Structure 1
C-alpha cells in the first residue's frame, strides 16, 4: 500500500508538506502542489477516510472532468473549461482538469485522494456509465449535460432540443419544406453523447410537426468531409433548401463548399446553426444561429456546485432557454 511518505519521497518534499497540500491547512506553492498531485496520481495514493476527516478542511479545488474523446470539438470544450476556471476563481477556487478517458477509476481517484472538493462533469452520455458512482460519491458533483435518467443528479445545460426546434421553426416560417441536419462526427452519436442526441430529437420532432421532409447527416470535423457532404446532399436531396448545422468545425467550410458548387447562401439554400456567436458572426455569410452559451453554462455549473458545498439546496435541473439571432444566411424559401 502506498503511504504518504512514498508520495513525499517521489515528489521531493516532506511528508508534512504532502499533508498540508491535502488538507489545505497551510499555503503551498502552485508548483509544489502540482508536483505532489502528479506523484499522487502516478503512485495511486489514497488517504484513508480517517485521515481525510482529521484534515478537516477543503482543498479549494474543483475537478473538471472532460475526457477528450475522438470527435470532441476541442475549441468548444475549451470555451466551457475557461468559463469554469473563470467562475471558480471568483470563489477563490482552482480547477483540476481531467482530460483522460478514465471512467469510474478517474472519478474514484479524485474522490479518494481528496484532490478536489467537488466535481463538474462534461461530455455526458444519455446512459453514462459514470452516473451510479456520481450518485454514490461523498462529495458534490454537477453535470454539464442531461442524461436520459437524471434523477438524483444536478444538471445544467442549454436546452438543445429546444435549440434545434428554434432552428427548424425559423426555416419553416420562411417557407422551407426540405431540411437537413449536419451533425457531429459519427462517433459522438455512437457513444450516445447527450447534447447531440437531444439536437437530433428536437430537429426530427420539429420537422415532423411542421410537415417538413428531413434527414440527419453526421459529419467529420474537416473541410474535406464538409465538401463531400455538400456534394452528397445536392446529389441525393435536390429539393433541399434549408440546413441546420450542429458542428462548429464544419460551419464555414460547409457554406464555402455549397457556394463553390454553385449554390448561393441564402439565395438557394438557407443555413442555420447551433454554435457560439463569434463563429456565426465571422462566417463569410453571417449565420442565423442559436448561441451556445458556454460562459453562462460554466458559471452556472460552478455556482451550483459551490452552493452544494455550502449545503444549500439546489434544483436538480437548470435549463438555459435557447436564443436565436437572425443574420444573413437565411431567406424565404421557394414559393409553394
Structure 2
C-alpha cells in the first residue's frame, strides 16, 4: 500500500505539504499542488478513513446500524443495506456496517470513534433505547423506521399503518368479513418493533371501522409454527376466509398447509401478503401483496443524511446546531398489487 511519505518523496515535497494538499487547510502554490496530485494519481495513493478524519475532521463514512436477528427476514434488510451502500458511493461516501445487537453501546462507539460523519439506524423499536443518544449526538442521523415519538428525529419508512388498512380494504371489498393476521415472530412484538406494531394497529383500526372480525397470531415462520398458528385460527374462527400474512418466512408453509387441508386459494381462502414482490411472485400461487420498498427506503435515508451533512457545513447550519432539531418524517405510500391469491369471499352454506 502506498504511503503518504512515498507520495512526498515522489513529488519532491515534505509529507506535511502532501497533507495540506489533501486537507486544503493551507494554501499551496498551483505548481506544487499539481505535482503532488500527479504523484498521487501515478502511485495510486488512497488516504485511509483515519487519515482523512485527522486531516479534515470528516471521514466520508456513514455508519449503518443493522442488527441481524434470527426472527427478522434478512434478505429485506440486506436489500436496504445495499441501497444505502450504493447511494452512499454515488455521494463519495463509504458505509460502516454494524450488525451486532449492541443497542446504545453501538451508538456510543460511533460517536466516540470519530470514524463516521453520520448514522443510519435500522430495526427501530417504538421505545428505542438508542434514541436518547441519537438526540444528544452532534452527528446527523436518520432512522429507517418509526419510533413512537418522532420529535426532533428524521425518519423514513413505509406507512405500515396505511399498509394494514389497505390490506383490510382489499379483502373487505371482496366480501370477506372474518380475517386473520399471521404476523412476525412473537419476539418482534415483545420488542415493540415499529413496523410490526404499526401494521397490526392499522389492521385493527380498519376492521373496527368496517365492523369486521379478526384474529392476530404471531408465527416463527417454520412449518411447525405455521401449522400451530393455522390450527388455532380455524379452531377459534372456523368462518375465517381472508388471511393477511406479514412474515415472509411463513408464506411457503402457509400455502402448503392450506393445500394439505384441502382449502383452495382463493376459492376458499384469500391471502394477502406484505412482502417483497419477488417473494409474492415466486410462490405456488402468485400472491396479492403490498410490496416492501426496501431500495427506496435505503436510498431516501442516504439522501436525507447527505442533506443534513450539507446543511451542517454551512454557516447557517452551524448556527442552528444548538437549536432544537426539526422533525422530518417521510412515509412511503403502500402499493397493493392484485394477483391470483385473492377472490370473492365464498358464500356460507346454511
Instruction: Give the TM-score taking structure 2 as reference length.
Output: 0.80
Q: CA deviation at 1:283?
A: 1.1
User: Is 1:332–2:339 an aligned residue pair?
Assistant: no
Unaligned runs of 5+ in 2: 1-14, 25-39, 318-325
SS in structure 2 of the partner of residue 301 of structure 1: helix
* Structure 2: distance between partners of 1:247 and 1:272: 11
Contact in 2 for aligned 1:24/1:59 (Cα 8 Å):
no
Work out whether 1:240 is the aligned partner of 2:240.
Answer: yes
User: How far apart in 2 are the matches of 1:245 and 1:157?
Assistant: 19
Q: Alpha-carbon deviations, 1:92-141, whole Å to 9, x = none?
A: 11111101111222111111111111000000000111111101101100
Contact 1:270–1:331 under 8 Å retained in 2: yes
Look up the match of 1:205: 205
Structure 1 segments unaligned to the other structure (5+ residues): 1-15, 38-50
Question: How far has the Cα of 1:156 moved from its partner?
Answer: 0.4
Classify the secondary structure of the residue corresponding to 2:85. Answer: helix
> 2:107 matched to 1:107?
yes
Query: 1:165-206 CA distances to partner (integer Å, 9 max, x unpaired)?
Result: 100100000000000110000000000101100011001111
Structure 1 partner of 2:332: 320
Q: CA deviation at 1:29?
A: 5.8
CA distance in structure 1 between the partners assigned to 2:245 and 2:178 by the alignment? 15
Deviation of residue 55 (structure 1)?
3.5
Instruction: State the alpha-carbon separation in 2 of the partners of residues 229 and 143 from structure 1.
Output: 32
- Listed one character per residue, the Cα deviations across residues 142-172 of structure 1 (whole Å, up to 9, x for unaligned) are 0001100010000000000100110010000
Instruction: Find the counterpart in structure 1 of residue 299 from structure 2.
Output: 299
Residue number in structure 1 paired with 2:88: 88
Aligned partners of 1:175 and 1:335 also within 8 Å = no
Indicate if the aligned counterparts of 1:63 and 1:95 stay in contact, CA closer than 8 A: yes
Residue matched to 2:310: 310
Q: Corresponding residue for 2:230?
A: 230
Structure 2 equivalent of residue 44 of structure 1: none
Q: Please list every run of at least 4 consecutive aligned residues from structure 1 whose deviation after the TM superposition is greater than 3 angstroms.
A: 23-30, 312-315
Matched with 1:4 is none
- Match of 1:180, SS? strand
Q: Distance in 2 between matches of 1:24 and 1:98?
A: 28
Separation in 2 of the partners of 1:111 and 1:179? 46
CA contact (8 A) 1:70 1:187 kept: no
Q: How far off is 1:330 after superposition?
A: 0.2
Who is 1:98 aligned against? 98
In the alignment, the residues of structure 2 paired with residue 246 and residue 279 of structure 1 have an alpha-carbon distance, to the nearest angstrom, of 12
Structure 2 Cα separation of the partners of residues 24 and 154 of structure 1: 30
After superposition, the C-alpha distances for 1:20-78 in whole angstroms (9 at most, x for unaligned) are: 9xx98999769x76xx89xxxxxxxxxxxxx97x6434211111001123412212211
The number of equivalent residue pairs is: 299
1:67 aligns with 2:79: no
1:12 is matched with: none
Contact kept? 1:24, 1:57, Cα under 8 Å: no
Instruction: Please give the residue correspondences for 1:112-131 in structure 2 after superposition, counting only pairs within 5 Å.
Output: 112-131=112-131
Alignment of 1:1-336 (within 5 A): 55-311=55-311, 316-335=328-347
CA distance in 1: counterparts of 2:196 and 2:107, whole angstroms: 24
* Alpha carbons 1:58, 1:117 under 8 Å: kept: yes
Do 2:215 and 2:233's aligned partners in 1 also have CA atoms closer than 8 Å? Answer: no
CA contact (8 A) 1:24 1:58 kept: no
Larger radius of gyration: 2
**Shift, 1:233, TM fit:** 2.0
Query: For 1:163 and 1:330, how far apart are their aligned partners in 2?
Result: 16
Change (3 A) 1:325 1:191: same
